[in-house]
């Protein structure tokens, strides 16, 4: 598919093509829209064409990593738990320039496709992913999720290279939003996994797209927690961030889901010694003005989301650290 503009209709077309696995070229006429970020939009394309040489060069620098020769010696097992069916990124993972085995762990809720598919009981994120690491046949284990879409045939090998070059215990890649994602999601993902050109240490870890040496996970298993296993595991370890290993991943913002996720994750933060973000009702009231900027970004519909997150933080403080 070819797009010549980046208006709202074209962005919807782009998202549909990504979800369908259809390559898309941007044949841009005129300037790149100022309301969009090139480092979030261009990685969603497979090629860029424009009559302006300097613009063409600048935009192409944001395209996803291409395949490189010699990757067949790099053996990776991608572990994907799911209860929704075949992972969205299956085709992209199979197109990687390394020897990649896709291991899908399903709880029986839906029929799923993968290189190896096993039905296992859901035991929370920690135990379920650790079980996948033990079943892996690669030297490296890639943890990802069933609604993430890797971009570029070289993104997994970029994680492997970063892991070895940096001497990290684990590395993770950059998440970019879908073309139709809301402004708040776009801004948060940019802060959480910022753009860049080289890997570097970072004091966070995210299993949306993270790579380990298998031997590391066998010696130091993930903790048996229902969620936040990446947060718990990274304590005291050296974590690397590879911003050129791209994956498309974002959820629609919905109050109930945001409340539950925020509550559960903040209880995990308390368990590792982080102070509560909203320790009491006075702090909750004091935090309300901070919700105004995201509401201005996302519109009045964002207000329930902001309140849900604040109440989730407050509820976590009342419930105490997760065990």
pLDDT (tens digit per residue) in 209-246: 999 999 999 999 999 999 999 999 999 999 999 999 99
Helix boundaries (H) for the chain: 8-20, 38-41, 53-60, 90-94, 124-135, 155-166, 183-192, 214-219, 229-233, 255-271, 281-287, 292-298, 303-319
Residue 196 lies in a domain: yes
Q: How confident is the model at residue 265 (pLDDT cuts 50, 70, 90)?
A: very high
At 261 the pLDDT is 97
> What is the mean pLDDT of the segment spanning 274-299?
93
78 shares its domain with 44: no
Same domain, residue pair 166 and 237? yes
Ordered DSSP codes for 67-124: P-TTGGG-EEEEEEEESSSS-TTHHHHHTSSSEEEEEEEE-SSS---SSEEEE----H
Q: Is residue 66 part of a domain?
A: no
> Is the domain of 121 the same as that of 195?
yes
Residues 202 and 267 in one domain: no
Q: What is the mean pLDDT of residues 147-169?
A: 98
Mean pLDDT for 277-292 is 93
pLDDT at 314 over 90: yes
287 shares a domain with 174: no
Same domain, 136 and 221: yes
**Count of domains in the chain?**
3
Q: Note the pLDDT tens digit of each residue in 44-93.
A: 999 999 999 999 999 999 999 999 988 778 999 999 999 888 999 999 99
pLDDT for residue 312: 98
Looking at the structure, tell me whether residues 217 and 75 fall in a common domain.
yes
The pLDDT of 104-114, averaged and rounded, is 88
Q: What is the pLDDT of residues 1-20, one digit of tens each?
A: 999 999 999 999 999 999 99
Tell me how far apart the alpha carbons of residues 210 and 223 are, in angstroms, rounded to a whole number: 16
Query: What's the pLDDT band for 111 if we cut at 50, 70, 90?
Result: confident
What does the block give as tokens for 104? 């899908």
Domain-embedded: residue 111: yes
Q: Examine residue 65 and state whether it is found in any structural domain, yes or no.
A: no
- The model's confidence at residue 29, banded by pLDDT at 50, 70 and 90, is confident
Residue 273 clears pLDDT 80, i.e. is over it: yes
**DSSP-based three-state secondary structure for 28:** coil
Q: Identify whether 273 is part of a domain.
A: yes
Residue 127 domain-assigned (yes or no) = yes
Q: State which of 60, 81, 97 marks the end of a domain.
A: 60
pLDDT level of residue 207 (50, 70, 90 thresholds):
very high
Are residues 170 and 297 part of one domain? Answer: no
In a domain, 94, yes or no: yes
- Predicted pLDDT at 70: 80
Q: Report the CATH number at residue 149.
A: 3.90.550.10
> CA–CA distance from 95 to each of 144, 151, 163, 244 (Å)?
16, 10, 21, 17
Same domain, 12 and 135: no
* Residue-number span of the structural domain to which 287 is assigned: 255-319
Mean pLDDT for the stretch of residues 126-131 = 97
Query: Residue 30: inside a domain, yes or no?
Result: yes
* Domain C-terminal end among 248, 265, 297: 248
The percent of residues above 70 in pLDDT, for the chain, comes to 100
The residue out of 221, 248, 275 marking a domain boundary is 248
Can you give the C-alpha Rg of the chain in angstroms?
Answer: 20
Are residue 81 and residue 196 in the same domain, yes or no?
yes
- Bridge partners (DSSP) of residue 116 are 103
Give me the phi and psi of 306, to 5 degrees please.
-65, -45
d(CA 204, CA 171): 9
The answer to whether residues 89 and 121 belong to one domain is yes
Whether residues 53 and 77 fall in one domain: no
pLDDT band at 323 (very low <50, low <70, confident <90, very high): confident
């Amino acid at each position: 598919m070819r797009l010549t503009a980046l208006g709202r209709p074209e962005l919807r077309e782009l998202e549909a093509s990504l979800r369908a696995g259809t390559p898309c070229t941007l044949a841009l006429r005129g300037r790149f829209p100022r309301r969009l970020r090139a480092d979030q939009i261009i990685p969603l394309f497979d090629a860029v064409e424009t009559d302006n040489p300097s613009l063409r060069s600048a935009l192409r620098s944001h395209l996803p990593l291409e395949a490189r020769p010699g990757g067949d010696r790099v053996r990776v097992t991608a572990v994907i738990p799911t209860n929704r069916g075949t992972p969205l990124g299956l085709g992209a993972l199979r197109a990687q320039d390394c020897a990649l085995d896709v291991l899908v762990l399903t709880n029986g809720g839906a029929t799923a496709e993968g290189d190896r598919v096993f039905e296992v009981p859901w035991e929370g994120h920690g135990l379920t992913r650790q079980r996948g690491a033990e079943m892996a046949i690669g030297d490296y284990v890639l943890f990802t999720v069933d609604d993430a879409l890797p971009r570029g045939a070289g993104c997994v090998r970029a994680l492997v290279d970063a892991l070895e070059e940096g001497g990290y215990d684990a590395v993770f890649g950059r998440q970019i939003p879908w073309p139709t994602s809301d402004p708040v999601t776009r801004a948060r993902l940019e802060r959480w996994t910022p753009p860049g050109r080289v890997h570097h240490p970072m004091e966070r870890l995210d299993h949306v797209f993270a790579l380990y040496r298998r031997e590391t996970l066998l010696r130091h298993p993930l903790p048996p927690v229902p969620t936040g296993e990446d947060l718990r595991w990274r304590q005291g370890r050296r974590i690397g961030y590879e911003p050129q290993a791209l994956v498309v991943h974002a959820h629609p913002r919905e109050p109930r889901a945001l409340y539950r996720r925020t509550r559960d994750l903040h209880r995990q933060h308390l368990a590792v010694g982080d102070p509560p973000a909203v320790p009491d009702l006075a702090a909750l009231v004091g935090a309300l003005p901070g919700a105004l900027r995201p509401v201005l970004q996302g519109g009045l519909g964002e207000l329930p989301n902001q309140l849900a997150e604040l109440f989730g933080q407050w509820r976590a403080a009342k419930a105490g650290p997760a065990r």
